[in-house]
Amino acid sequence: MPNTKAYAAYAPDQDLKPFEFDRRSVGDDDVKVKIDYCGICHSDIHFAHDDWGMTEYPVVPGHEIIGHVTEVGSKVTRFKPGDLVGIGCMVDSCRECTPCKNDLEQFCEKGMVMTYGSPDPEMGGVTQGGYSSQIVVKEHFVLNISDKLDLKGVPPLLCAGITTFSPLNQWKVGKGQKVGVIGLGGLGHMGVKFAAAMGAEVVMITRSPEKGEDAKRLGASSVLVSTDQEAMASQAGTFDFLLNTIPVAHDINPYMPLLKFNKTMVLVGATPIEVHSMQMIFGNRHLSGSLIGGIKETQEMLDFCAEHNIVSDIEMVNIQDVNTAYERVMKGDVKYRFVIDMKSL
């Protein structure tokens, strides 16, 4: 009888249904975790629906995992049974290449092993994620979670959190800076919380003025409506940093002139964009992409959250409601992330 209960997406209808499979037994440097909560990330939906043409069915999504350690291998030093831990988007990498040695496992030259949907170097087949009762992960990829935080809001930190924290951290956002967060969804709401906690003046930039109140509750000091050309023009050349979280194809020409010269917009949404080079040439402006963060930086983010009492705003659901939750995410009908209570499995 398989040792792990889960929900998996199946072809051809792509709905998630009950699934059982075997996790590997605990190796010397492995940590076994009983999963308490798992966040629902938009990537889970793209993967379940094979939007990126790389899905092997059945697949168990989920890379925002919070749980308790139940067993550790003989060489594990940082964890013991009972510890509260997290697992994010990666569960392995080569640990020997230049990016790995520089704490950038997400750029491992041999390819990071993603928490689900990657070729599984230990078991064959593909890795299976966190919509499951338990998981076995190498110690290096297991994160410490502070019990000071409201645990239910912690899972999204492991993807939405690090995705927005990393660029704000890398570009040294802080006091005295004016930072714009474009788009108020799962990523954007974390971006506002982090940038405000880092001490920046945060401006929520959105097409939807009705999002203003919530943006201010989250930490924005003001709201800039991107369809208001006069307002946009009045703030041209005043921003030190822009975090663009828009998840659908769009034109960034209206936003680039908001930046001071030599400043940067970072894209974290996976989407096609258009821009006229003149918007970047006049002002030597920069556009960058940013992919999650390495394990070391993810731990720094979690520690920052514990220090500043930051979690995600979430709605809790049972695993049986995951297909409905997916539909609501696709309609943008969630403030701001769903988390699955794995007790319901």
- Provide the binding-site residues for its own copies, judged by CB under 8 A: 99, 104, 107, 261-262, 267-291
d(CA 22, CA 226): 50
Hey, is 333 helix, strand or coil? Answer: coil
Nearer to its own copies, 31 or 242 (CB): 242
Burial zone of 326 (CB within 10 Å; 0-12 exposed, 13-18 middle, 19+ buried) = buried
Contact 338, 329 (CB under 8 A): yes
Nearer to its own copies, 132 or 290 (CB): 290
CB-based contacts of 57, cutoff 8 Å, min separation 6: 8, 9, 10, 11, 50
Nearer to its own copies, 23 or 285 (CB): 285
Q: Supply the minimum distance, in Å, between the C-beta of residue 273 and its own copies.
A: 6
Contact 171, 239 (CB under 8 A): no
Structure tokens belonging to residue 83: 């510890």
CB-based contacts of 323, cutoff 8 Å, min separation 6: 15, 16
Q: Supply the minimum distance, in Å, between the C-beta of residue 297 and its own copies.
A: 12
Q: Supply the minimum distance, in Å, between the C-beta of residue 30 and its own copies.
A: 28
Q: Supply the minimum distance, in Å, between the C-beta of residue 231 and its own copies.
A: 21
Nearer to its own copies, 74 or 277 (CB): 277
DSSP category for residue 106: G
Q: Supply the minimum distance, in Å, between the C-beta of residue 214 and its own copies.
A: 25
Nearer to its own copies, 196 or 243 (CB): 243
Q: Supply the minimum distance, in Å, between the C-beta of residue 176 and its own copies.
A: 14
Contact 138, 293 (CB under 8 A): no
Q: Supply the minimum distance, in Å, between the C-beta of residue 166 and its own copies.
A: 9
Q: At what angle do helices 295-308 and 160-170 cross, to 10 degrees?
A: 100
Q: What is the largest CA-CA distance in the chain?
A: 65
Smallest CA-to-CA distance from 157 within 330, 308, 322 is with 308
d(CA 112, CA 159): 15
Q: What angle do CA 166, 170, 171 make, to 5 degrees?
A: 120
Q: Supply the minimum distance, in Å, between the C-beta of residue 43 and its own copies.
A: 11
Nearer to its own copies, 104 or 215 (CB): 104
Q: Supply the minimum distance, in Å, between the C-beta of residue 111 and its own copies.
A: 11
Nearer to its own copies, 133 or 235 (CB): 235
Nearer to its own copies, 151 or 273 (CB): 273
Nearer to its own copies, 232 or 275 (CB): 275
Cα→Cα distances 42→172, 217, 295, 323, 339, Å: 27, 24, 21, 13, 12
